[in-house]
Structure formats: C-alpha cells, structure tokens
C-alpha cells in the first residue's frame, strides 16, 4: 500500500511501517525499492549435493547466489529463511512447494513465523556457580531471564519469554529481543546474574565466567570420580577427597574404596553425610574448588581421628575437573602438611582432566507455533497440530531437525548451531522471526484442508534473490517421504 508521499506500507508484521523509497523498515528485513516492497535478505535453499560430485557439504563451506541452473526436486529443500511471513494471518504461507521425492509427491509449507512466545534455553558447561536458582539474568541492566535448575556438570539459564518481551518496560522488551536475536544468530552476549557471576555466552563456544575462559566440563560428581579412578590410586595414596559443590567423595568410606580394601583413615568431614563416602554441602557454591567457594580445601576437614589416622598418611585432594589439586601428608600431630605430589598421582590428576569434555555453551531456541501461523498452512489449524503429533508432518527450522513438545500446540526447540548463519530476524513489536517448515505428503496436505491452489513446483523457485547453500553435515535431509 502506498501514500501520496511515495511511501509504501509494509504489512509483514503488526508494526505496519510506512517506508520511503530507498529505505528499510524498522526490522531491516523489508525495503522500498522503486515503490515496490522487497525482502532484503536472500531466500535460502539447501542443495544436497555438488553437481556431479555427490558429496554432502556443510553450509559453512559453501554458499553462492543463484547461477541459473535447473533445480533437482529431491536434492533441493526450500527453507523459510528469507521467505517472508504470513502476516496478516489470513494469507496462505509465502511458499507452498511441491516436489516428487523417491516417487512420492511431497509438499513443504514455508514461512517465517513471528514469535512473541519464544525464548532460549542455555546450557553452560561449568561447575562454577553462576548464581542462585531463580536469580535474575540481566543484559545491559535489564532482566532478560533467570537461572534455572542445574544439570549434571552444567548450569542452565532460561532467557526470553513473552513476559520479558512484552510484559515489562519498552527497554526490557527491546534488550531481551536483541539478546535473543544475537544468541540465536551465533553472536556473543554479555550477561550478569544477580548475586552471582558475569558470563559471556555464545552458541558452540566455551563460556567466559568472570573474565576467565572455561575449558572443561567436569568428569562427574565427587562420588562418581571416586568410582572412576579408585583403582588408579590404589597403592599410591591412602586417602582421596574429590571436592564438589554437589557430592564430595571420600575414597576410604566410598564403596569403591571398600571393594579395593582401602583401610579406614580417621578422616572426618564437614557437611552432611549422605551415604558412605558421599557428602553434601561441604561448602557454599562459588567459583573455586569443584564449584564451591573454597580456595583452601583443608577447611572442609575436621581433625583426624587419632584412633585410626597415623603420621605419614598420604592424602590427595582434587576437584572434579582436575583443575585444582594438592597432596598432603599427616605430620606427628596428624595435621595435613602439603608436599610435592608424587608422579603417579600427577598422572591420575591429568587423567581426570583428560576425561573432561570441552566446556561449551549450547543455545536452544524454543517457540510456540500458534494458531495464527498455522492458518497459513491450512484452513483447519488443529488438523496440522494433530498431523505433527502423529508424525505425518515433519517440522524443521531452517532445514534443521526440531524437538516438538508433547501436549497441546506446536511448541518446538532447535539447536541454533544447526541452522545457517543469521537465520533469525526480529520485528519491533518486539518479537523474534524464526524460519519454520512443514513437510508432508501431498495427499495428506489435502486432507488437512491445505491451500492446494497455492502449491507451486520446486522447479519454479529458480531466480534472483535466492541463495544456494549446502546442508549441515549433521542434519538429516529434511525432504523425504513421511512414514
């Protein structure tokens, strides 16, 4: 729609920008070019193989604009990246593409969804304490999410969601949207946790915590570390304490030590004893030894029992990543005195570190594909939901596989590193724009009440403004017949 000043109105989102010739809308995704509303970013298509080579290549290695070649239907997948949206929602999806795959007529419905109900789940591989559970996570001073339940060797954040996007101040919504967009597009975000740490997170990269690059994810809790390495300590040390914020392990009391015949040492621990050789709450959470606030591990020990301990008793204390370690021997008064660590124990500490996986940050985009988006697929949206739950319709995000949650609606999660670069956009409502594709058999699409009159052949997709890239090597090929 245009006005008398030569501006045109963009209806790709609820903001309804009026755009002058040569300028872009608020989202930077649509522009007025000579009085025509034009999608700025190229429309991305996945090409399965190099012509004549048959080699699957990564989109990180290959990207080129359209060169005029004919499309092979079974080898080209039309993603929603750069395709445009269904807004206003009564319209059919921007592209409903048909192709024959292995003798089966398939349809892929392609749209960029506007997601107000979305966020990211962030898994940070570290033992270091980021902050109390439920503590606010802030970017540029605005709350964008919170710390959630820790998992085995990882701290977890839940960021975004409709409350932060639209339920707070305008600045909170804008900052939240920017942070989500950067995380989903593989860019670093600096955040802070109330009562906790400063952290730089970037999908697929190690986290930076309080300015320090994290290198390792722990091999296991303190008890698990005892079980893994007890045999390697046998004969080289009398006692081992593996310091851990969650479960600290003690070799002589642990079942692994009992099995190997390790004698009682008279060690007495602070904290709450759970089962033999396993202790909770030996210290407060922190960024020191094993995710505790300890800089001196001896502070978790009470005086040794003189009835069982002996002068010269050898003790190794080590963290769950092997980052912190120390070797002690008891003096004549049964007090631990730090000594130079024997070579076999150095080797065992190195083995603990070797068995730690590299620390990474994982970012999962999570969004709900609501009824309005589904109207671009079918005139009867609930049938699409049922088809997805029955696995007759495959959902992908930029060609990447997704996990669809059970229960009502189409709520999905996707690993953002499995999508091509810059696959996500935004609108200043604020909301994220994410690609979503629905692939199913053509006859099933008709049963759904699909927009059959809008189907076009994949061969018609050749043209300017489109970019071919290779598929991600770890992604299954999205264009195949449903079971």
38-47, 55-64, 363-372: the lowest-pLDDT one: 55-64
- The answer to whether residues 356 and 153 touch, using CB atoms and an 8 Å cutoff, is no
Measured CA to CA, the distance from residue 467 to residue 64 in angstroms comes to 6
Please, what is the average pLDDT of the chain? Answer: 90
Measured CA to CA, the distance from residue 216 to residue 295 in angstroms comes to 19
pLDDT tens digits, residue range 383-410? Answer: 999 999 999 999 999 999 999 999 999 9
Give whichever of 39-48, 86-95, 210-219 has the largest mean pLDDT: 210-219
In terms of pLDDT, which residue wins out, 72 or 329? 329
Q: Does the pLDDT of residue 278 top 70, yes or no?
A: yes
pLDDT tens digits, residue range 89-106? Answer: 678 999 999 988 888 999
Q: Starting at the earlier edge strand, list the strands of the sheet with 239-243.
A: 272-273, 278-280, 248-250, 239-243, 314-319, 325-330, 336-339
What is the mean pLDDT of the segment spanning 431-444? 95
Measured CA to CA, the distance from residue 271 to residue 130 in angstroms comes to 22
pLDDT band at 6; cut points 50, 70, 90? confident
pTM equals 0.89
Q: Does the pLDDT of residue 61 top 50, yes or no?
A: no
| CA separation, residue 480 to residues 310, 449, 473 (Å) | 70, 21, 16
- Concatenated DSSP letters of 443-459: HHHHHTTB-GGGEEEGG
Give me the residues paired with residue 193 across strands: 137
Computed from CA positions of residues 71, 73, 74, 77, in that sequence, does the dihedral angle turn out positive or negative? positive
What is the mean pLDDT of the segment spanning 437-448? 95
Six-digit token pair at 287?
């960024």
pLDDT tens digits, residue range 152-182? Answer: 999 999 999 999 999 999 999 999 999 999 9
Where does residue 263 rank: exposed (0-12), middle (13-18), buried (19+ CB within 10 A)?
Answer: exposed
Measured CA to CA, the distance from residue 247 to residue 279 in angstroms comes to 5
pLDDT tens digits, residue range 179-194? Answer: 999 999 999 999 999 9
What is the predicted pLDDT for the residue at 482? 54
Helix (H) or strand (E) holding 344, with range, is helix 343-354
Cβ-count burial 267-280 (b if 16+ within 10 Å, e if not): bebeeeeeeebbbe
- The answer to whether residues 157 and 232 touch, using CB atoms and an 8 Å cutoff, is no
Where does residue 42 rank: exposed (0-12), middle (13-18), buried (19+ CB within 10 A)?
Answer: middle
In terms of pLDDT, which residue wins out, 74 or 298? 298
Q: Does the pLDDT of residue 148 top 60, yes or no?
A: yes
pLDDT tens digits, residue range 111-123? Answer: 999 999 999 999 9
What is the predicted pLDDT for the residue at 296? 97
What is the mean pLDDT of the segment spanning 50-78? 54
């Amino acid at each position: 729609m245009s006005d008398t000043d030569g501006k045109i109105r963009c209806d790709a989102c609820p903001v309804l920008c009026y755009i002058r010739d040569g300028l872009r809308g608020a989202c930077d995704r649509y522009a007025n070019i000579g009085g025509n509303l034009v999608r700025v970013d190229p429309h991305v298509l996945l090409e399965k193989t190099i012509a004549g080579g048959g080699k699957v290549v990564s989109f990180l290695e290959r990207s080129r604009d359209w060169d005029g070649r004919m499309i092979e239907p079974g080898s080209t997948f039309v993603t929603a990246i750069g395709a445009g949206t269904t807004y206003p929602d009564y319209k059919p999806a921007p592209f409903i593409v048909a192709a024959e795959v292995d003798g089966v007529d398939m349809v892929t419905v392609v749209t960029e969804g506007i997601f107000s109900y979305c966020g990211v789940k962030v898994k940070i591989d570290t033992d270091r304490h980021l902050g109390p559970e439920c503590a606010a996570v802030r970017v540029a001073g605005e709350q964008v999410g919170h710390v959630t339940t820790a998992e085995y060797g990882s701290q977890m954040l839940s960021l975004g969601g409709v409350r932060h996007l639209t339920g707070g101040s305008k600045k909170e919504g804008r900052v939240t949207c920017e942070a989500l967009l950067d995380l989903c597009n593989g860019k670093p975000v600096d955040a802070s946790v109330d009562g906790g740490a400063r952290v730089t997170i970037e999908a697929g990269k190690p986290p930076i915590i309080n300015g320090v690059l994290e290198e390792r994810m722990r091999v296991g809790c303190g008890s698990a570390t005892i079980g893994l390495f007890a045999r390697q300590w046998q004969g080289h040390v009398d006692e081992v304490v593996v310091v851990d914020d969650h479960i600290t392990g003690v070799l002589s009391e642990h079942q692994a030590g009992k099995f190997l015949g390790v004698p009682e040492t008279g060690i007495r621990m602070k904290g709450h004893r759970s089962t033999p050789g396993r202790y909770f709450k030996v210290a407060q959470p922190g960024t020191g030894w094993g995710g505790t606030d300890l800089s001196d591990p001896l502070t978790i020990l009470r005086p040794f029992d003189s009835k069982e301990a002996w002068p010269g008793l050898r003790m190794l204390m080590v963290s769950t990543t092997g980052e912190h370690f120390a070797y002690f021997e008891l003096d004549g008064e049964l007090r631990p005195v730090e000594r130079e660590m024997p070579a076999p124990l150095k080797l065992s500490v190195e083995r603990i570190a070797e068995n730690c996986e590299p620390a990474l940050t994982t970012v999962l985009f999570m969004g709900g594909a609501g009824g309005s988006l589904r109207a671009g697929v079918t005139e009867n949206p609930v049938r699409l939901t049922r088809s997805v739950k029955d696995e007759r319709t495959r959902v992908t995000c930029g060609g990447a596989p997704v996990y669809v949650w059970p229960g009502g609606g189409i709520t999905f999660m996707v690993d953002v590193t499995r999508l091509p670069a810059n696959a996500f956009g935004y609108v200043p409502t604020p909301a994220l724009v994410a690609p979503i594709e629905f692939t199913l058999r053509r006859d099933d699409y008709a049963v759904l009440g699909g927009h059959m009159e809008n189907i076009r052949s994949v061969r018609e997709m050749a043209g300017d403004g489109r970019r071919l890239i290779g598929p991600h090597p770890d992604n299954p090929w999205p264009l195949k017949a449903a079971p």
